[in-house]
Amino acid sequence: MADYTVEFAGTGETVEVSDTETILSRCIEEGIAQEYSCRVGMCLACSAEIVEGEVTQPAARGLTDEEAESYALTCMARPQSDLVLDRGKYPPSIDDEAAASEAPAADDD
Ligand code: FES
């Protein structure tokens, strides 16, 4: 087990997170205002852009493989190095999620 420093860019906030816990769970414990909703890697509410460092997040199903290289879903992501994250930055696919939720229900007529 290793502990890493996670810094939230532009906030002055840092938190120590082990590689066995998610970034979000540690933020909740430390009272850091990381946004979240589903906590199962689907809604993208907890997204942060990865400015520096690496995470592992195999269960981040809301991200495309390409997005997972640049964004962390903090409810699923575990650090693999010290990190700098830009909280509240969302991957492009969040626009698809929003469009799908706003689309009118299919008419069966
Ligand atoms: S809280 Fe929904 S993806 Fe993390």
Identity of the residue numbered 20: T
Domains of the chain: 3-102 (3.10.20.30)
Q: How far is CA 25 from CA 93, 94, 108, 109, in A?
A: 24, 22, 42, 46
Lowest mean pLDDT among 1-5, 14-18, 103-107: 103-107
Q: Scan for tokens 């420093």, then name that residue.
A: 5
Query: Nearest 5°: phi and psi at 61?
Result: -70, -20
Tens digit of pLDDT for each residue in 10-58?
999 999 999 999 999 999 999 999 999 999 999 999 999 999 999 999 9
**Mean pLDDT of the 72-87 span:** 97
- Residue 106's pLDDT is 54
- Residue 98's pLDDT is 66
Distance of CA 84 from the midpoint of ligand 1 (Å): 19
Predicted model pTM:
0.87
Distance of CA 18 from the midpoint of ligand 1 (Å): 19
Six-digit token string for 88: 């509240």
Distance of CA 60 from the midpoint of ligand 1 (Å): 8
The answer to whether the beta carbons of residues 44 and 62 sit under 8 Å apart is yes
Produce one character per residue of 54-66: b if its CB has 16 or more CB atoms within 10 Å, e if not: ebebeebebbeee
* Ligand 1, CB cutoff 6 Å, lining residues: 36-39, 41-46, 62, 73, 75
